[in-house]
Structure 1
C-alpha cells in the first residue's frame, strides 16, 4: 500500500513538478491480476484499482496500515467499472458490472472478489473507500439507471453530463460521495469557474482519454495555483484547501469522490475568475 501524507498549503506552493506528482498524483492503478491501493491521510481516503484478467482477485486489508482483519471492518467503498464487463461478488452475492456501472458496499461486508468476463478484454474496477460508522446496504446502480444532469455550454468548452451515484439523494453512505462526469466532444474544461470546499477533500480519476492526450489538472490555493499533468487512468488527490479543475487536449471522463465533514454536493466556496492567480 502506497502512503500519502497531508501537506500544508504554505509548503505546497514551493513544490516543484516532481514533488507535486509524488505527493498528489497516482500514476498507475491497474496492473494485471493485482489490487493496487493508495492510502491518503487526507480524510483517510483509500484509492484503488483492480484489474482481474486470468484470476479472480480478493480485496484484502493491509494489516500493517489498516490494523483490520478485513477491508470493510471499519470502512465503506464505492466502485465503478471503467473497463469491459465483469463481476463483483459480495459475501456470496454476484453483481454483474457493465462499463460505468457503480456499486456501493457498506461497513461489515467481509469477502469481496473481482472477476472479468473476458480475460482478453478485462474489467477495470476503480474505487474510493472511506471510514464508516454505520452499515448501509450494498446497492448497485447501472449507468442506464442513473439520472444524468446536463450542464455547461460549448461556448465555455464545458458541456458535460454528470452522473451522481453515491450522494444524499441517491445511494446512501456514511460519508462517501461519488459520481462521474463525461465531457462531450469538443469540450475540454472541468469544474471552471472553480471552487474549494474546506469541509471535504476530493479525488479525481481521469479516463477515456486517447493515449497521447493530457489533462492539465489545476490545484493549489486560488491565489497560488499549480498544475499536474494527468494522463489516461491516473488519479489526483485534492486536499480541502485546494481548487480542483482542469483542461484537456481532448474531451475525457472523470470520476470524482469526496469525503469529510458533510455530503452536500452543492457545499462549495466559489472562486471568482478575477481572483485566480
Structure 2
C-alpha cells in the first residue's frame, strides 16, 4: 500500500512538475492478478485497483491498517471499470458486477474476494473510515441517479451518475459516482469549485491510448495542472479545485469523504476567480 501524506497549499504552489505528480498522482492503478492500493492521509481515504485475471484476489487489511480485517473500521465502494463481468464475494454471498456496475460494502464484513467471470473485469475500489454498519448492496447503472449536465457550447455536456449517494443508499461518509463526457466534449467541471468540508479522488478511464486529460488543481489563485492518461488516479485535497479538460472524451469515477455528504455543498468559483 502506497502512502500519501497531506500537503499544505503554500508548499504545493512551489512544487515542480515532478513533485506535483509524486505527491498527488497515482500512475499505476491496475496490475494483473494483484491489488494495488494507495492510502491518503487526507481524510484517510484508500483507493486503488483489483485486477483478477487467472486467480481470485482477497482484500487484506495489511500492516498499514492494524486491523483484524480490511472492513473492521471501514466501508467500501466498488466499480467494475473493465470490459468483462466479474464477481465480488462478501462473507460467502456472491455478487455479479457487469461493466459499469457499482457496489457498496458496509463495515464489519470480513471476507471480500474478487474474481473475473469474463476476461477484462477490473475493479476500482475506494474505502473510508466508518462508524456504523449499513447494508451491502449491488448498484446497477440503472439504479444510479442520472443527471445530464452542461452543454455543447461550453464543451462540458456530460452525464453525472450518482451510485453511492444519499439519494440511493445510506453510508457513513463515502460518496461515489461516475461521470461520462459526451462525444466532442472535454471539460468535466468548469467553472471550478472547492469544498472545504470534504476531499475527493478522481480516477480517469475509458480513454483512447493517445488521449490525455489536463487535470487542474491547486488553490483558485494558484492553479496547477497534471497531465493524465488512461486508468490513472489523482488526489484532490479540500482546498484544491478539481477540474479537467481532455483531448478527447473520457469517463471518470469521483469519490468523496469528509465532513458531510451534501453533494451541492460546494464553494463555487467564477471564471474571473481563477489564476
For 2:40 and 2:253, locate their aligned partners in 1 and report how far apart those are by CA, in whole Å.
17
Structure 1 residues 153-177: Cα deviation after superposition (integer angstroms, max 9, x where no partner): 0000000101101111112100000
Give 3-state SS (helix, strand or coil) of 2:76's partner.
Answer: strand
Moved more, 168-177 or 258-267: 168-177
Structure 1 residues 185-232: Cα deviation after superposition (integer angstroms, max 9, x where no partner): 000001111000011000000000000110000000000000001100
Give 3-state SS (helix, strand or coil) of 2:18's partner.
Answer: helix
For 2:74 and 2:231, locate their aligned partners in 1 and report how far apart those are by CA, in whole Å.
24
Equivalent residues in 2 for 1:12-161 (5 A)? 12-62=12-62, 64-83=63-82, 84-118=84-118, 121-161=119-159
Who is 1:5 aligned against?
A: 5
Structure 1 residues 1-29: Cα deviation after superposition (integer angstroms, max 9, x where no partner): 10000000000000011101110001011
Q: How much does 1:74 deviate?
A: 0.3
**Aligned-pair RMSD on alpha carbons?**
0.6
Give 3-state SS (helix, strand or coil) of 1:219's partner.
Answer: strand
* 2:145–2:168 CA contact under 8 A, matched in 1: no
Deviating 4+ runs (over 6 angstroms): none
User: TM-score, normalised on structure 1?
Assistant: 0.98
Structure 1: stretches of 5+ with no match in the other structure: none
Structure 2: stretches of 5+ with no match in the other structure: none
Q: 2:214 aligns with which of 213, 216, 231?
A: 216
For 1:85 and 1:106, locate their aligned partners in 2 and report how far apart those are by CA, in whole Å.
22
Q: How much does 1:147 deviate?
A: 2.9
Who is 2:172 aligned against?
A: 174
For 2:116 and 2:257, locate their aligned partners in 1 and report how far apart those are by CA, in whole Å.
29
Give 3-state SS (helix, strand or coil) of 1:149's partner.
Answer: strand
For 2:139 and 2:273, locate their aligned partners in 1 and report how far apart those are by CA, in whole Å.
39
Figure out how many residues of one structure are paired with residues of the other and give that number. 274
Give 3-state SS (helix, strand or coil) of 1:189's partner.
Answer: coil
For 2:165 and 2:186, locate their aligned partners in 1 and report how far apart those are by CA, in whole Å.
25
Who is 2:274 aligned against?
A: 276
For 1:12 and 1:48, locate their aligned partners in 2 and report how far apart those are by CA, in whole Å.
23
Equivalent residues in 2 for 1:178-217 (5 A)? 178-217=176-215
For 1:146 and 1:275, locate their aligned partners in 2 and report how far apart those are by CA, in whole Å.
33
Q: 1:237 aligns with which of 219, 235, 253?
A: 235
For 2:110 and 2:40, locate their aligned partners in 1 and report how far apart those are by CA, in whole Å.
22
For 1:177 and 1:233, locate their aligned partners in 2 and report how far apart those are by CA, in whole Å.
20
* 2:215–2:227 CA contact under 8 A, matched in 1: yes
Q: How much does 1:68 deviate?
A: 0.5
Give 3-state SS (helix, strand or coil) of 1:186's partner.
Answer: coil
For 1:275 and 1:150, locate their aligned partners in 2 and report how far apart those are by CA, in whole Å.
26
